[in-house]
Amino acid sequence: MTELPVARAALAAWYEIAKRDLPWRRTRDPYAIWISEIMLQQTRVATVIPYYERFLALYPTVDALAQAPEPELLAAWAGLGYYSRARNLQAAAKTIVALGAFPRDHSILRTLPGIGDYTAAAVASIAFGHPHAVVDGNVVRVLARFLAETGDISQSATKSRLRLAADEFLDPAQPSRHNQAVMELGATVCTPRDPQCAKCPLANGCQAHEKGLARELPIKLSKTVIRRVERSLLVVIRNGNILLWQRPPEAAILSGFWELPEPHQLPNAKIGRALHLFKHSITNHIYTFQVVEGSVRRVPSPLEWVSPDRLSTLPLSTTTRKALAGLTQL
């Protein structure tokens, strides 16, 4: 990488002026930074902000998180999806409490549940100023363009080259600012479809910009197959109570969450009018849910009647919350 000090300085100067004022940028508390990094995995910044603020108000310390009752924790996380993140957070919080202090070393952070290389590097650099380069999708895109890397970024050889480039580009004197600046550039200027090279602090020296390849890079050859699935959810209400079921502890996904039943769980239900449709995406699946009214004579296990008061205290899956949104009977 040529002119590294110049590029780093330009990036740092840009970041000081252009950075967004985000709540996790106002703290050096490793706990708060860790929570924000976990929430930001797979979830957009605008969605995360209110969750982050509520979560820290509920659980302001590692101890508070370690002691949180699981149903309450899952309810606080409901809407962010990928609930294994919440469970891993609590498992890691319990380990940190047992350690007696928040780990500062990348190698120890890396051993905690739910903390991979990216999160360990982010916490070590942002909270503790340790020189570890973060490599996420934004960083890969910025570096692939800056270097005009034409390898497929889903291939391990390309990933390794970009990992080395990130380490080389890192400002060892200011790793926190540098890491956040590269990610911010990828999120706001060097965006996937519309790179704003005219506003970019790295334009002078960016090889993709020089070669007119900014929009062509990075190259990712493996295409994800999108699957579309149609499903139904039943809303069965009697005397103001609604029929729900709780996923068992051994469920592979969403264990402990409450959900509306699907028709196969109530084979004797009388199906009524359609209430509404909504879409829900999980990784490479796009689900279309039809929400319909139903009525039953008998309630088979594990379904049970839930009162409106109790409903507000239960961890509900995102699909159930979407299905219930706007229903006036509850």
Identify which of residues 9 and 99 has a Cβ nearer to ligand SF4 in the complex. 9
Contacts of 58 (CB under 8 A, 6+ apart): 64, 68, 72, 76
Closest CA to 161 of 178, 175, 144: 144
Q: Which stretch binds ligand SF4 (CB under 6 A): 46-54, 87-95, 124-132, 208-216?
A: 208-216
DSSP helix/strand/coil, 159: helix
Instruction: Name the minimum Å distance from CB 46 to ligand SF4.
Output: 22
Sites for ligand SF4 among residues 210-229 (CB under 6 A): 214
Question: Please, what is the minimum distance in Å from the beta carbon of residue 216 to ligand SF4?
Answer: 10
The answer to whether 266 contacts ligand SF4 (rule: CB under 6 A) is no
Of residues 11 and 35, the one with the C-beta less far from ligand SF4: 11
Nearer to ligand SF4, 209 or 322 (CB): 209
197 binds ligand SF4 (CB under 6 A): yes
What single string gives the DSSP state of each residue in 275-321? EEEEEEEETTEEEEEEEEEEE-SS--TT-EEE-HHHHTTS-B-HHHH
- Does the protein bind ligand SF4 through residue 15 (CB under 6 A)? no
By rule CB under 6 A, what count of residues binds ligand SF4? Answer: 15
Q: Kindly tell me which of 76 and 208 has the beta carbon lying closer to ligand SF4.
A: 208
Query: Encoding tokens for residue 284?
Result: 């490479």
Pairing of strands 258-259, 285-295: unpaired
Stretch that binds ligand SF4, among 65-73, 142-150, 227-235, 275-283 (CB under 6 A): 142-150
209 belongs to the binding site for ligand SF4 (CB under 6 A) = yes
In angstroms, give the least distance from the CB of 131 to ligand SF4. 22
> How many residues make up the chain in this entry?
330
**Least separation in angstroms between CB 9 and ligand SF4:** 15
Closest separation between CB of residue 199 and ligand SF4, Å?
8
Question: Dihedral of CA 22/26/28/30: which sign?
Answer: negative
Q: Does 291 bind ligand SF4 (CB under 6 A)?
A: no
- 14 sits near ligand SF4 (criterion: CB under 6 A): no
Kindly give the interhelix angle for 84-99 and 70-77, rounded to the nearest 10 degrees.
Answer: 130
Q: Is 146 in the site for ligand SF4 (CB under 6 A)?
A: yes
CA distance 71 to 67: 12
Catalytic residue among 3, 37, 230, 304: 37
Helix (H, G, I), strand (E, B) or coil at 112: coil
Q: Which of 130, 145, 177, 322 binds ligand SF4 (CB under 6 A)?
A: 145
Report helix, strand or coil for 227.
strand
Shortest reach from residue 210's CB to ligand SF4, in Å = 9
Residue 149 is a catalytic residue: no
Q: Which two tokens stand for residue 17?
A: 């002026």
Burial of residue 228, with CB atoms counted within 10 A of its CB: 0-12 exposed, 13-18 middle, 19 or more buried: exposed
Helices H / strands E in the chain, number of each = 14, 6
Question: Can you give the binding site for ligand SF4, defined by CB under 6 A?
Answer: 142, 145-146, 189-190, 195-197, 200, 202-203, 206, 208-209, 214
Q: Which residues are catalytic?
A: 37
